[in-house]
Amino acid sequence: MTISGFLYIYELLWAGCLPLLRFSARLKEGWAQRTLKGSSLRRADIWIQAASVGEAYLALHLVRALKEQGDIKVLITSSTSQGVGLLAEAKEHLSLEIAYFPFDLPGIMSKALAHVRPKVMVVLEAELWPGLFAASSGLSIPLLIVNGRLSPSSLRGHLLLKGFWRKYPPEKVLAVSSEDAERYSRLFGERVVDTMNNMKFDRVSIQAGGQEENPLKNLIPASWPFVVLGSIRKEEEAGIQYVIKRLRTERKELVIGLFPRHMHRVGAWEKRLSKAQIPYKLRSQMDKAPARPGMVILWDKLGELGQAYGLSQAVFVGGSLRPCGGQNFLEPLTHGVVPNVGPHLDNFQWIGPEIFTLGLARQVKNKEELVHCLLKDLSEPRNPQEVLDLARTYLRGRQGGTQQACSEIMKRISQR
């Protein structure tokens, strides 16, 4: 099949799916922006695409650094309501435009790029959209992949369209590891691929002084042991329910903070906890009422996971008990807490094995071992200041990726 033939069929497939996608609860939010019907995107110097919440945090971190370079107009798009919601909270403070990412029909993407007219298009991490890449090339808009990662399984799928990606490559890929760089090189060619320090290391800030006042301190009394189960994915919910029941059996006074990775799973967790007769309360209903011993707090508010880590004595970071690729488990270290993670960390190989050999994270094999390690953390807590000092040393030399990304972006802007 020719490349033009592929794009024609790709557009037809998207057009045929749109009527069905309208029934999706997740996709109907922002429908006008996703389809560019009744909603146009505003002009910007830089357009950054951040798939969901994790990438949105990185996008905001990148924008703060870019704003130091001068008065730059920035548009950030996200594919999820959670990502857009997070960006909306920072919109006024950072003076940026936000919107839902348009559907990847080549026609829609060409129209969107023509509206925005960015001097550079930035894609964060792992998204490869044929419509976007073809439209950027057609309008001579340089496209950069920043903080890039590409798993072996994703590479195998994309290599089926190797001819397309070689015709419409990004102008530059900044990959977070030599392994990711090698995979990108197989797809796009070595000429456009380079490496960078992962920007997620830059988001880990360990101050020399004491910890800031925690706004959740009145929610979780310091006299009660507190465990955080963070970023729990749908695939591991049954295993985490087992962990909760075991923890409550062993430590009846324990308070457990349960953070689903996606807010739309809160309802499923309510049903699961009710059926198992596990007492719980939604975080949104607790602003004036502190936790009670033995309670599970089901978090249905965004932006408080880090604060909860700061009050905890034991932590599990999800997406790792089942093969979901893992979630970023560096943040608990900023509070002097060593995180526990499961065996499945395919998306976080860039962190490297040293973090485990230094004792700054612990990897468990299964849910039974996780229960054992969480209970051990509660009964034999490590000195938070020692953890902070060791983490600060570990991070030194791994940071600076944000400035690398800024330099590449500003180079393209100055050229145009």
Residue among 168, 169, 120, 128 at smallest CA distance from 148: 128
Kindly tell me if the per-residue pLDDT of 208 is higher than 60. no
pLDDT in tens, 321-379: 999 999 989 999 999 999 999 999 988 877 889 999 999 999 999 999 999 999 999 99
Q: Rounded distance, CA 31 to CA 28, Å?
A: 5
For residue 200, the tally of other CB atoms under 10 A from its CB is 24
Kindly tell me if the per-residue pLDDT of 207 is higher than 70. no
Helices (H), 68-193: 81-94, 106-116, 130-138, 152-158, 162-167, 178-188
DSSP classification of residue 310: T
pLDDT for 39 equals: 72
Kindly tell me if the per-residue pLDDT of 222 is higher than 90. no
- Indicate the average pLDDT of the chain: 93
Mean per-residue pLDDT, 177-206: 93
Kindly tell me if the per-residue pLDDT of 92 is higher than 90. no
Q: Rounded distance, CA 405 to CA 408, Å?
A: 5
pLDDT for 349 equals: 79
DSSP classification of residue 10: H
pLDDT for 356 equals: 96
Q: Phi first, then psi: what are they for 317, rounded to 5°?
A: -105, 120
pLDDT for 210 equals: 47
Q: For residue 124, what pLDDT band results from cuts at 50, 70 and 90?
A: very high
pLDDT in tens, 53-74: 889 999 999 999 999 988 899 9
Residue among 390, 409, 393 at smallest CA distance from 401: 409
Do the bridges between strand 46-50 and strand 120-124 make them parallel or antiparallel, or are there none, so unpaired?
parallel
27-204+400-415, CATH topology level? Rossmann fold (3.40.50)
pLDDT for 211 equals: 52
The reply to whether 226-395 shares the fold of 27-204+400-415 is: yes
Kindly tell me if the per-residue pLDDT of 223 is higher than 50. yes
Mean per-residue pLDDT, 223-248: 97
Mean per-residue pLDDT, 165-173: 97
Please compute, for residue 181, the number of CA atoms within 13 A of its CA located in the half-sphere on the CB side.
16
Mean per-residue pLDDT, 150-165: 94
Kindly tell me if the per-residue pLDDT of 1 is higher than 80. no
Distance between alpha carbon 381 and the CA centroid of its chain, in Å?
A: 29
pLDDT for 209 equals: 46
Give the residue extent of every domain in the chain: 27-204+400-415, 226-395
Q: Rounded distance, CA 97 to CA 180, Å?
A: 31
Q: For residue 242, what pLDDT band results from cuts at 50, 70 and 90?
A: very high
Mean per-residue pLDDT, 170-186: 96
Q: Among residues of the chain, what percentage have pLDDT more than 90?
A: 82
226-395, CATH topology level? Rossmann fold (3.40.50)
pLDDT for 234 equals: 97
Helices 3-21 and 106-116, axial angle in degrees (round to 10): 90
Residue type, 158: H
For residue 317, the tally of other CB atoms under 10 A from its CB is 28
Q: Do the Cβ atoms of 130 and 104 come closer than 8 Å? A: yes
